[in-house]
Amino acid sequence: MNSRRNFLQKLGLSALAVQFSPVTGWAKNQAQVSDQPYDGPVLRVAIMGIGTYGNIVARALQASTKAKLVGVISGSPEKVKDWQSKYGIPDKNVYNYSNFENIKNNPDIDAIYVIVPNFLHKPYALRAATTGKHVICEKPLGRNAKESQDIVDGCKKAGVKLLVGYRMHFEPKNLEIISMRNAGDFGKIKYFTGNGGFRIGDPTQWRLDREKAGGGSMMDIGIYAVNGARYMVGEDPIWVTAQELPKSDTTKFKEGVDETITFQMGFPSGAVAQCLSTYGMNYVDRFLLIGERGWAELNPANGYGPLKGRTNKGELKAVSPPMQQTVQMDEMAGILLEGKTPVVAVDGEEAIKDSKIIDAVYEAVKTGKKVLLKLS
């Protein structure tokens, strides 16, 4: 495993292997799902960016009930032709990065899903907002809290809804743990640990370019621990401390590109979190929540494939979907078209909080001091 792509492929192998399996097969195991075919509104999506993750979302949309892939925005004509063949996208719904504002005149597209490198999130999300279509943007929303705030403000000004690609907020095992915590099964929460990472490969990729990524591992894999700590503990942190480990390769991990950071967060209730974000170690993918009367663990915690989880009461009962992104898009369609409220927020305000925490982590690394947080 020597690249992000290999990392994603390995963690997502089970999901991708069943990408064409009907999600209804999974859904029939869920007691709340009706046997009646869906007959409600469908979110018609244009994907911007057809790299590795864009392709995963496209495949997931094939099995979606409430969302459908209808358009594509890309600067790669040959790839676009392949997408048109695979997904039946008509010529009138094909755009490039120079003309995609013309989507405002296309009544067959409801939302634009921005899946491009971090440094393009702000300019492209703001341009997408001017089309009058809803905007879904991958995380992190911006390279820092200011960029994230600018995107939120731009979408509000344009009068469009903004969602962020927090797929784990809809993942059944995560939601089962949150439900158990809310029911008091674990008692008062005392501790959380969130570890994520892999050995990154190609040194020329944009994720190892500070200007394009906004940092290093914290901007890519660290955000899972930042966000996971918040929804697992059920609070927003009030302080952060952090330490950067010595770099194994200063050519690959240049100034401003972190390889490994450990960071700690404190919460109003007194709970604490200890987290790790790394581009230097494989097999790092675990959440652990500990309360006064019980505990819950996810291992793996963030991969695309089925997650594994248990608590002090035994194995988690929730069934993992074939593709997390299918559930994500179904649920996002419900939010955008029907006004549904998710268990864990996936809006721009949620993303701003994560960006503020990541900014504070970098500040704590630089200063060696505890950084106080004000997230609301």
Catalytic residue among 53, 166, 224, 279: 224
Closest CA to 56 of 312, 304, 352, 276: 304
Catalytic annotation on 224? Answer: yes
Which H, E and C letters describe the chain, residue by residue? CCCHHHHHHHHCHHHHHCCCCCHHHHHCCCCCCCCCCCCCCCEEEEEECCCHHHHHHHHHHHCCCCEEEEEEECCCHHHHHHHHHHHCCCHHHEECCCCHHHHHHCCCCCEEEECCCHHHHHHHHHHHHCCCCEEEECCCCCCCHHHHHHHHHHHHHHCCCEEECCHHHHCHHHHHHHHHHHCCCCCCEEEEEEEEECCCCCCCCHHHCHHHHCCCHHHHHHHHHHHHHHHHHCCCCCEEEEEECCCCCCCCCCCCCCCEEEEEEECCCCCEEEEEEECCCCCEEEEEEEECCCEEEECCCCCCCCCCEEECCEECCCCCCCCHHHHHHHHHHHHHHHCCCCCCCCEHHHHHHHHHHHHHHHHHHHHCCCEECCCC
| Neighbour-count burial of 309, counting CB atoms closer than 10 A to its CB (0-12 exposed, 13-18 middle, 19+ buried) | buried
Q: What tokens does 210 get?
A: 């500070």
Catalytic annotation on 122? Answer: no
Catalytic residue among 66, 122, 139, 356: 139
The catalytic site residues sit at 139, 224
